[in-house]
Amino acid sequence: MAESVPEYSKVDKTIESYSCEKSALIAILHEIENSYGYLPAWALKHVSEKLNVPMIQVYGVASFYDAFHLTPRGKHLIRVCLGTACYLRGSARVLEALESELGIRDGETTPNLEFSLQSVRCLGACALAPVMVVGEHHFDKMTPTKVHSVLKRVHGKNE
Ligand code: FES
């Protein structure tokens, strides 16, 4: 998976905007996550050095919160609901179809950084189960056979 090119001065600006305060660690990591879509290893090391916080502590915070990601993520995040209502209506087979179509497993990102796949528990639309969400777009009453056309539709919007 491609790692971003280190941009130390950009990260320095973020750290300095918080006056190099150790207590701002989470806020600083949020800004880095927003800039890169994940927390690059070089940035975590740099934050650790600049704030004088042990790397194990920085890594501990970065890996604890769901909002942080330690690997690059795809342009499109696909979330498939495996909550009870969706599961009972076949969402596991939708997930399998996505894994097969994209060549990745749940939690992974395609090598071209186009798609990330993530199973979730309840997207709040149980009456429309099985549900999947791609970016901002909801797809209701999903079936494995609809997967190909949904991916084509989402991908086509960016060409
Ligand atoms: S269980 Fe899937 S939307 Fe609620």
- pLDDT tens digits along 25-60: 999 999 999 888 899 999 999 999 999 999 999 999
Query: Can you list the domains of the chain with their CATH numbers?
Result: 8-64 (no CATH), 76-156 (3.40.30.10)
Distance 127 CA to ligand 1 centre (A): 8
- pLDDT tens digits along 83-100: 999 999 999 999 999 999
Do 79 and 123 contact (CB within 8 A), yes or no? yes
For residue 6, pLDDT over 90 is answered with no
Q: Two tokens at 112?
A: 């071209």
Using CA atoms of 103, 143, 151, 74 in order, give the dihedral in degrees to the nearest 10: -60
**Burial (Cβ within 10 Å: 0-12, 13-18, ≥19) of residue 47:** buried
With bands split at pLDDT 50, 70 and 90, how would you rate the model's confidence at 67?
confident
Q: Does 95 contact ligand 1 (Cβ within 6 A)?
A: no
If one compares 122 and 135, the residue with the highest pLDDT of the two is 122
SS3 at position 97: helix
- Helix axis angle, 91-102 relative to 147-156, nearest 10°? 50
Q: Does 85 contact ligand 1 (Cβ within 6 A)?
A: yes
- Amino acid of residue 11: V
Q: Does 123 contact ligand 1 (Cβ within 6 A)?
A: yes
For residue 22, pLDDT over 90 is answered with yes
Q: How far apart are CA 41 and CA 6, in angstroms?
A: 9
Q: Does 24 contact ligand 1 (Cβ within 6 A)?
A: no
From 79, 81, 132, give the residue whose CB has the most ligand 1 atoms within 8 Å, as the site to mutate: 81
With bands split at pLDDT 50, 70 and 90, how would you rate the model's confidence at 2?
low
Query: What per-residue string of b and e applies to 97-126 under the rule 16 or more CB within 10 Å gives b?
Result: bbbebbebeeebbbeeeebbbbbeeebebb
Q: How much of the chain, in percent, has pLDDT values that exceed 70? A: 96
With bands split at pLDDT 50, 70 and 90, how would you rate the model's confidence at 5?
confident
- What integer best gives the mean pLDDT of the chain? 92
